[in-house]
Amino acid sequence: MTRPFRSQNEKAKFRPGGVDPLDAQLEAALGGLSEDELYGFNKPAPAEAGEDKTTRRGKVVSIGKDDLFVDFGGKSQGIASLVQFEEIPSVGEELEFHVERYDPREGLLILTRKGALATNVSWETLEIGQVVEGTVTGVNKGGLEIDVKGMRAFMPAGQVEIYHVPDLSQFLNQRLSAEVTQVERQGRNIVLSRRNILEREREEKKKQLLAELAPEQIRRGTVRSIMDFGAFVDLGGVDGLLHVSELAFRKVRNAGEVVKVGEVLDVKVLKVDHETGKVSLSLKQARGTDPWAAAEERYAAGAAVTGRVTRIESFGVFIEVEEGIEGLLHISEMSHNHVRHPGDLVKVSDTIRLVVLSVDPVARKLSFSRKQAQAEEAAEAAAAAAPGPVKKRNRQELRGGLDF
């Protein structure tokens, strides 16, 4: 196709008043776009330092043997290597990518999956959100000093792990993957976060684990924190609540009495809320059967028992007769004499003899009497101290061998 006009001068000869009507209509239709922009040959402007302009969300439109193609809308498309993916995405799936550069020959953006390890990094290509790998070269109170391809970077202590790490020296000389959170090219300053990566991985594990969790399961977890109302246990991506009432069959005032941070436990899943992600756990149910189930047989009224003082109150003393079974020795049953305060007679951890007054397995209540136990002890002591029955002598022996 030959162009009708060779030059602007030639075109001007046919313009009424110097303006070609066709040109005016074409200019209005294009809206100011250049020919390069019209045919998709424009190269996106590079992101400036400190801006996250190179992170874009696109849709996977096709998957090849080694690469996948991504559409960002309009005429903007890119290509990413499949090596970056642990699991190959499906066509139509939307993902976030970092734009590394523009390939003018192919007319494509060269992409890196957000969260994938960037290998060829330098001060010119380093961007916020990239995942890089480096070696820990130093440790201080504030965090870790890391070497990334000869570039010096810093990772604050709070960005090393999801949970607090008391001793950062364990990371010295280790190679770590981390996300770039801050880049200052002029000041040659790089700030990294390993925690961001771990939290993303944890979120993926959480989704998978929540789908698998169900009531009555026994799961192994690690105690991560202890609160007044219980403890939080990490099941491997999901934190479950171990309420203070589910720590033991006995009464527990503080979770720290039973578990410690970092302790590995087998717990029973009580409830899973898939909408909120909340999980309720029980330690006592995972460890055995309820001791109160057969308490009525072992602690019938009138039975003599031995127990340990666990608490002293103004109205009486709480006695533990076995793990998980505790009863009340009321102040009125402590002695035949007047008792001003239970602490005048016993102290915590004392072991004393008692007699069971009543047992209620449903209400989990047990009551004792020390007065009755003391009465029995006194009777036993009196019986032991009394002389035995006089042995009657044989009349033949009294005769002394003489015959009357």
User: Residues 157-179: pLDDT tens digits?
Assistant: 999 998 888 899 999 999 998 99
CATH number of 15-116: 2.40.50.140
Q: What six digits make up the tokens of 93?
A: 């799936």
Same topology between domain 15-116 and domain 291-384: yes
Q: Is 400 left (phi over 0), alpha (psi -120 to 50) or beta?
A: left
| 75 vs 65 pLDDT, higher one | 65
Sketch the domain layout of the chain as residue ranges: 15-116, 131-198, 213-287, 291-384
> Which pLDDT score is estimated for 80?
86
Right CATH for 291-384 from 3.20.20.70, 3.30.300.180, 2.40.50.140, 2.60.40.2580: 2.40.50.140
Residue (of 132, 103, 108) closest to 58 by Cα position: 108
pLDDT at 119 over 60: yes
> Which pLDDT score is estimated for 173?
93
CA distance 213 to 278: 11
pLDDT at 283 over 90: yes
> Which pLDDT score is estimated for 7?
43
CA distance 137 to 172: 6
Q: What's the pTM? A: 0.48
The pLDDT tens digits for 373-393 are: 888 777 777 777 777 665 554
> Which pLDDT score is estimated for 44?
43
CATH number of 213-287: 2.40.50.140
The predicted model gives 26-47 an average pLDDT of 45
Q: DSSP states of 302-359 as a string? A: T-EEEEEEEEEETTEEEEEEETTEEEEEEGGGS-SS--S-GGGT--TT-EEEEEEEEE
CATH class (in words) of the domain with range 131-198: mainly beta
> Which pLDDT score is estimated for 24?
57
CA distance 185 to 191: 12
Mean pLDDT, the chain, as a whole number?
80
